[in-house]
Homo-oligomer: A and B are copies of this chain.
């Protein structure tokens, strides 16, 4: 899951207090931050230290990340004229630092795969339209439903940017990519199907040609999972609200599932965390298509020794199962 190293003391020691966008622009720093949780936890893959608004920031939309708040846009997206601030992404020109980080990570990581990522059009659009994080997505939904032509133009731009970003990360050596539609769970299935699914499908269709595994994830997506599967990812991330056995029943045998330990549980005493970790593994029922993960990101307050324990528990369980 993204931000795996967020609670590490070694992360706080080197991260500094500036904008995360500044940290991302320093390949040495981003490489080191990406490697920290791999070193500490011995996880089976690394996930690039970056952010879903990096590409729209880089093409000049005018979006920043305010510490403690999240992505903010002083001039939100309101009309067709704002499309001018969303030109196509030329990754080599706009985000050379991301590609440099990917290349340096691939060199450092050896056999450990690197997962690159991008924000899905709906989730990125929500920040651009709302001007910041939202609990209700009222402006986003009003535009989506009230001006579907403008919505399509915006989705087309953002899908193109996501494709360019993912493609460039894969070309630079990423072994897999994840498409985060973190907030799509705010939509009804009908809204998702009409206004979001075509664009996610478009992205996965384009990326499929590059022959690396693709992962799709959002929270609160219980009702959307069958549609998100239809978009075409190799792997579907499941948050903790849907038990893994229920998700498997709902989605069938022919997809890899990722998840789904509730990250809030990491604050409980170790025996509880261990029991819940084993519960996720048992609910998977030995299906070979399971990537153990949290159901959402690690928060900064988590004790790293607890995460070490989770990784050790998963490795011991799967090693046992393999024998």
Contact = CB atoms under 8 A, between A and B. Distances in A.
B241 A185 contact: yes
Given A186-B264, A191-B262, 20 more contacts: A136-B263, A138-B264, A138-B299, A138-B301, A141-B264, A141-B268, A142-B264, A142-B267, A145-B268, A145-B272, A145-B276, A146-B267, A146-B268, A185-B220, A190-B243, A220-B241, A222-B222, A223-B241, A223-B242, A223-B243
A138 B7 CA distance: 14
B188 A262 contact: yes
Contacts of A262: 141, 188, 191
Given A145-B265, A265-B145, A301-B138, A189 B243 contact: yes
Interface string A134-150: 00111111100110000
Interface in A253-282: 262-265, 267-269, 272, 276, 279
Nearest to A141: B264
A281 to B, nearest CB: 14
Interface of A: 136-142, 145-146, 185-191, 220, 222-223, 240-243, 246, 262-265, 267-269, 272, 276, 279, 299, 301
A137 B299 CA distance: 11
A185 B222 CA distance: 11
Contact of A240 (B188, B246, B263, B265): B188
B220 A264 contact: no
Interface pairs A-B: 9 shortest CB-CB: A142-B267, A141-B264, A145-B268, A146-B268, A222-B222, A138-B264, A145-B272, A146-B269, A188-B240
A86 to B, nearest CB: 23
17 contacts: A136-B299, A137-B264, A138-B301, A140-B264, A141-B268, A145-B268, A145-B276, A146-B268, A146-B272, A185-B220, A187-B241, A188-B240, A189-B241, A190-B243, A190-B279, A222-B222, A223-B246
